[in-house]
Amino acid sequence: MIEIQNLNKNFGTNTVLSDLSLNLEAGRIIGLLGPNGSGKSTLLKILAGLTSDYRGTVLLDGHRPGEDTKAVTSYLPEKTYLSGWMRPVDAFDYFADFYADFDRVKAAEMLKQFRLNERQPIKNMSKGMQEKLQLVLVMARKAKVYLLDEPMGGVDPATRSAILDVTLRQYQEDSIMIFATHLISDVEKIFDSVIFLGYGELKLFEDVDRIREKYGKSVDDLFREVFACSVSL
């Protein structure tokens, strides 16, 4: 479903992704893990078609990121992207107009589950409420590829559970989901595989079951070991 060959991306003299190669199959939830600045968001932006000045080959369902792939890719950025004047109903109109796979009924149900008012302007919502609304918009699509960048970054633990629940329930079995997060212990139970990105380089790409079998550790423990920082006081 996703094929990445020798992907390189620089910001000026700073290398963000270096010779990255990956082959990701459909029907899996993949954790994209790495310390801050390791290139997770950049990789997701490239897959989503937000960054086009990279070197290497990137194919989603056989196509370069573009008009065709955007129709089947549902991307949740870490930033809030809706205009302040919009209300959830306006955002639903917007998504329904552009994405043929957007399910308005499902979106309304999820909105209710998150106890959001569909007539409340976004500018009057807290950051957490805005994040929930964006998750609703993204997960109400029957996409082939889901790219979630820190979907639980700014929310309380109870909401994290609700987000995880919604994500799992709406996920389509024949699609692929890449889930970038720092909150590994909260989420690792839903991952089929994990990718460890360390400063632009692929450190590990392994099934979660295999990690437990091979290293006798949880993903969270292995992450801490691989990316350990020595701090002297």
Partner 1 sequence: MFSKLVKHEFRATARIIPFIFMVTVFLGLVHVLTVRLNLGVLSVFSLILTVLMCFAQVIIAYALVIWRYYKSMYSNEAYLTHTLPVHPSMLLWSKLLVGFVWTAASYITAIGVGFGVAAAHMFKTAGEWQNFVTGYHQILKAIGIEHSQLLMWFVIAAALLISIVLVLSEVYFSISIGSTSKMHSLGIGGPILVFLGTDMSLRILSALAALFIPLGVRFTTNASGELIGLKFVVQSMFSQVVDSLNSTGMASSSGDSGIAGIGSYLLLPVFVAALLYTASRVITRHTSIK
Radius of gyration for the alpha carbons in the chain, expressed in angstroms and rounded: 18
- Smallest distance, Å, CB 81 to partner 1? 4
Residues 6+ apart with CB under 8 A from 26: 1, 144, 174, 175, 176
**Amino acid code (one letter) for 170:** Q
Nearest to 210 by CA among 228, 229, 193: 193
- Nearer to partner 1 by Cβ, of 37 and 157: the residue is 37
- Dihedral sign for Cα 97, 101, 102, 103, please: positive
Binding site for partner 1 (CB under 8 A): 11-12, 45, 48-53, 66-68, 70-71, 73, 75, 77, 79-83, 85, 90, 94, 97-99
In angstroms, give the least distance from the CB of 79 to partner 1: 5
Give the nearer residue to partner 1 in terms of CB position, either 194 or 200: 200
Distance in Å, CB of 102 to partner 1, minimum = 11
The tokens for 95 are 């998504």
- Shortest Å distance, C-beta 1 to partner 1: 17
Residue 69: CB minimum distance to partner 1, A: 8
Task: Give the single-character DSSP code of 131.
Answer: H
Close Cβ partners of 88 (under 8 Å, ≥ 6 residues apart)? 111, 116, 117, 118, 119, 120, 122, 133, 136
Q: Which amino acid is at 118?
A: E
Nearer to partner 1, 32 or 208 (CB): 32
81 vs 215 by CB, closer to partner 1: 81
| Cβ-based nearer residue to partner 1, 54 or 196 | 54
Q: How far is the CB of 100 from partner 1 (least distance, A)?
A: 9
Pick the closer one to partner 1 by CB: 54 or 223. Answer: 54
Would you state the structure tokens that stand for residue 229, as one six-digit string?
Answer: 């920082």
**Residue type present at position 168:** L
Strand segments (E) across 61-134: 73-76
